[in-house]
Amino acid sequence: MQRYYYSDSISEFLTKSSDEILGSISKNTEFATELTQKDAWLEQISILKDTLEPHDGRLFFEFSIPRMGRRIDVVLLVKHVIFVLEFKVEKQFKSQDIDQVWDYALDLKNFHETSQHHVIAPVLIATKAPETLSKISTTAHNDDLLLPITTNAKLLGDVIRSVLDFSDGKIVDIDNWRNGYYSPTPTIIEAALALYNGHDVSEISTRDASATNLSVTSKSLSNIIQTAQKERQKCICFVTGVPGAGKTLVGLDIAAKHINKYERTSTVFLSGNGPLVDILREALTRSKVEREKKKGNRIKKKEAFSTVKTLIQNVHHFRDECLRDHHRAPFEHVAIFDEAQRAWDLDQTVKFMVGKKGISGFSQSEPEFLISCMDRHQDWSVIVCLVGGGQEINTGEAGISEWLHAINRSFPNWTIYISNKLQDTEYAAGNALTLLSSHKHVFQKEELHLSVSRRSFRAEHVSLLIKNILDIKLADGIRNFKSIKHKYPIVITRSLTNAKAWLKMKARGTERYGIVVSSQAQRLKPLAIDIRSKTDPVHWFLDKKDDTRSSFYLEDVATEFDVQGLELDWACITWDGDFRFNHDKWDTYSFVGSKWQNIKKDERKSYLKNAYRVLLTRARQGMVIVIPEGSIEDPTRSPSFYNPTFEYLLKFGFEVI
C-alpha cells in the first residue's frame, strides 16, 4: 500500500495542471473530500509551483505517519535535504502547529530508515503571515534534524535555498528513500489508536532481527483462537516478555481484530490497571470523535465512548458482571488479561468478597474465578494471559503460579499454551510448572515470548541495565551502560531544578516528559512533591503543554501505579529515602507518622524494589535521576539516606548535571 496520495518529480509536477494533480490526490484519500480540503490542496499546489522551478527532486503529498494516525502535507526531497512541509491558512505561527511539523520530522528521523542519515528540515508555512524569515539552526542533539523553520508562502523559496546552503550531506537517493522501511516504535497510547483505526501490528512495530517479531506472536495467538473456535476447544495462553517488549501491544492487536459486537467471536482486552484503562479509553474516544469529524460526521463523545468501552474494560468490572449472574457465559469468547500476574490470590480475593461485596464462603482466587467465567461457554473460549516479570507491586498479587495451580485443580480439559520462558525465575511460576507436567494438554511455544524491550527505540537493553542496578550487578551494569549511552542518555543530579531544565532541553515537539516517584516517597515535600495529592493520570498523560494538569507542567507527579504499562519519552525519577543503597544491599523503608520504619516482610520489600523497576523503565529516549541532598537539619531527610545511593549510581558511569 502506498504511503502517500500523490508523488511526482518536481519537473513533472511543474508541467501538470493543478486540476490533474488535485484529481490524483483526491482519488487516494480515505475521507470524504470537502471543498475546504480541495481548496487547501489547490493552494499548496499553487505555492509549490511558484517555488520549486529552480530545483530538481521529488515531492510527496499526504505522506502517512501510521504511528501518529496523521499525514504530512508535503515531503520534499531536494539534493541532500528532506523538507517536511506543513501548510496552515493562518496569519501567525501557533505553538501547536510548530510542534506538529516537528513531530513529523522526528518521526522520519527516528523511524524511517532511509531518512535517518540525512538532513531533515521541518518547515511551517503560515500562508498569510508577514514576510519574516526565521533563523535556521540545529539542535543540541546533533542528529541533522533542524529546528522548525517558520515562513510565509512568498518566502518558502528563500527557506529552501537557505537550508541547502546552510547544510551539507549525502544526496538523497529518491528511489531508495521511497522504498525505505518504516519501523515505528509507538507508545502504547499511539499503538492503541493506530490499531483501533485499522492498522496492523506489523505497520506500527519496529523491525529487529534479535527480537521475536510482534506480528509472529500475534499471528500465533490468532491461529490458536481460530483452532479453538473450529475444534470447539477451551484454551489458555501465557505470553511472556521483558518490560516494554510489547505484550500489551499484542493484546490490543488481538482485541482490535475482533471488535464486531454482533459476532459471537468478540474479544475483550481486560486490565486491572485502572489508569491504563481510563487513559486508553479516553484517547480512543477523543480520536474517534476527531476522526468522525474529519469524515463530516458529528458524533457526541458519549456515543464514541460507548463503542470504545466494549473493547477495553477494567478486569474488576468484568469480574463483577460475572458475579451478578453465576451461570451466564460472558458475551466475549476471547478474554485477554493484561499483567495477569497482578490478579489476586485466594486470601486477597476472599477479603474483598466479604468486605466489599458481602459474599461469604467464597473459595476461589481471582485467576480461578476468571477461568471459571470463560469455562461457562458451552462451545469454545480462549484466555490470553500477558505476563510481566518482576512487576508485582501490590499486596495480594498472586503472580502467575496461581493461574497454573487453578488450571491443575479445576480445569483438566483445557488446552494450555505456554511461553518457553515461563520457567524463568522473574515470572515466579514456581512448582506450578512442575505440576503441569501431568496435565494432558500442554504445548510450549517459543513464539509466545517477547525477548527484547521496545519501549526505548534508542536502546533495547535498558531494562537489563535496570535489572543490573537493582540486583547490584555493578560490572554487568557498567558494561551494559557503555553499550547504550551514546543512544540513551542517563544522567544523575542532586537538583530537581537542573533535572527539569534537562528534560525541557532534551524534549522536542510533543515528546512527553514528566516526573515519576515511588508511592512510598513521603519525604519529597520540601521539593514540592506531595504524593498524597492525587494526580489524574488521564490529564497527566493525554493533555497538552498548556494544561497545568499535564505531565509537561512538571508540577503533578505520577507513581508506579499511575505509569505501569505506560511510558514517557523523557522521565525524571526522583528518589526518596524509602529505597536506600547500603554497602552491598538495598534497605527498604516506609514512612509512618513522623519517621521511617524498616520494612521487614520479604513480600513488601519485593514490591518496593519492583516499584523502582517500573519507574526506571518508563522512559523511551532517556532519563534523569534525582537523588536529593537531604538536610542535616531534618532527621527524616538525613543526607545519609541519600548519599550512598548517589555514590552507588555514580559507579555506573552516569553523567552528573
pLDDT in tens, 198-211: 776 666 665 543 34
Instruction: Give the per-residue pLDDT at 208.
Output: 47
pLDDT surpasses 50 at 169: yes
Span 584-591, mean pLDDT? 96
What does the alpha-carbon distance between residue 296 and residue 171 come to, in Å, rounded to a whole number?
42
3-state helix, strand, coil in the chain (%, to 5): 40, 20, 40
Confidence at 266, pLDDT banded by 50, 70, 90? confident
Grid coordinates representing 233?
Answer: 476447544
Count of residues making up the chain: 657
Spell out the CATH class of 218-277+313-450.
Answer: alpha beta
Instruction: Give the per-residue pLDDT at 76.
Output: 98
Domain ranges of the chain: 6-178, 218-277+313-450, 462-656
**% of the chain at pLDDT higher than 70:** 91
Grid coordinates representing 590?
Answer: 516506609
Q: Which residues pair with 610 in a beta bridge?
A: none
Query: Which is nearest to 441 in space by CA: 170, 147, 236, 150?
Result: 236
For the ranges 15-19, 461-465, 522-526, which has the lowest average pLDDT?
Answer: 461-465
Instruction: Give the per-residue pLDDT at 427.
Output: 60
pLDDT in tens, 36-62: 888 999 999 999 999 999 899 999 999
pLDDT in tens, 380-412: 999 999 987 655 556 667 677 888 889 888 998
Q: Distance of CA 569 to CAs 247, 312, 325, 344, Å?
A: 19, 24, 44, 31
Number of neighbours of residue 36 by Cβ within 10 angstroms:
8
Rama region for 214: left / alpha / beta (φ>0; ψ in -120 to 50; rest) = alpha
Higher pLDDT, 598 or 67: 598
pLDDT in tens, 71-87: 999 999 999 999 999 99
pLDDT in tens, 561-577: 999 888 999 999 999 99
pLDDT in tens, 277-291: 999 999 999 988 887
**% of the chain at pLDDT higher than 90:** 59
What does the alpha-carbon distance between residue 9 and residue 57 come to, in Å, rounded to a whole number?
6
Helices (H), 309-386: 315-324, 346-355, 366-375
Query: Which is nearest to 426 in space by CA: 476, 467, 366?
Result: 467
Crossing angle between the packed helical segments 602-616 and 462-470, to the nearest 10 degrees:
150
User: What is the tally of helices (H) and strands (E) in the chain?
Assistant: 23, 22
pLDDT surpasses 90 at 558: yes
Q: Are 59 and 40 in contact (CB under 8 A)?
A: no
pLDDT surpasses 50 at 516: yes
For the ranges 26-30, 214-218, 336-340, 450-454, which has the lowest average pLDDT?
Answer: 450-454
Averaged pLDDT of the chain: 88
Query: Which is nearest to 520 in space by CA: 385, 612, 428?
Result: 612
What does the alpha-carbon distance between residue 154 and residue 452 come to, in Å, rounded to a whole number?
49
Reduced to 3 states, what is the DSSP secondary structure of residue 488? coil
What does the alpha-carbon distance between residue 550 and residue 10 come to, in Å, rounded to a whole number?
43
Instruction: Give the per-residue pLDDT at 206.
Output: 56
Grid coordinates representing 509?
Answer: 515537539
Span 141-148, mean pLDDT? 92
- Give exposure, 546-556, as e/b (b: 16+ Cβ within 10 Å): eeeebbbebeb
Torsions phi, psi for 507 (to 5 deg): -75, 140
What does the alpha-carbon distance between residue 148 and residue 236 come to, in Å, rounded to a whole number?
50
Q: Are 14 and 49 in contact (CB under 8 A)?
A: yes
pLDDT surpasses 90 at 306: no
Span 174-187, mean pLDDT? 86
pLDDT surpasses 70 at 334: yes
Q: Which residues pair with 138 in a beta bridge?
A: 146
pLDDT surpasses 70 at 435: no
Query: Which is nearest to 408 in space by CA: 382, 438, 385, 429?
Result: 438
What does the alpha-carbon distance between residue 652 and residue 480 come to, in Å, rounded to a whole number?
9
Reduced to 3 states, what is the DSSP secondary structure of residue 467? helix
Query: Which is nearest to 372 in space by CA: 417, 415, 406?
Result: 406
Terminal-residue alpha carbon distance, the chain:
47
Q: Distance of CA 351 to CAs 294, 330, 356, 362, 592, Å?
A: 49, 25, 8, 9, 24
Instruction: Give the per-residue pLDDT at 308.
Output: 84
Span 309-324, mean pLDDT? 89
Span 231-248, mean pLDDT? 86
What does the alpha-carbon distance between residue 649 and residue 625 come to, in Å, rounded to a whole number?
9
Sheet holding 513-516, edge to edge: 513-516, 568-574, 619-626, 490-493, 655-656
Instruction: Give the per-residue pLDDT at 259.
Output: 61
Strands 449-450 and 6-9: unpaired
Instruction: Give the per-residue pLDDT at 392.
Output: 53
Q: The pTM is what?
A: 0.84
Element holding 277 (H helix, E strand): helix 274-294
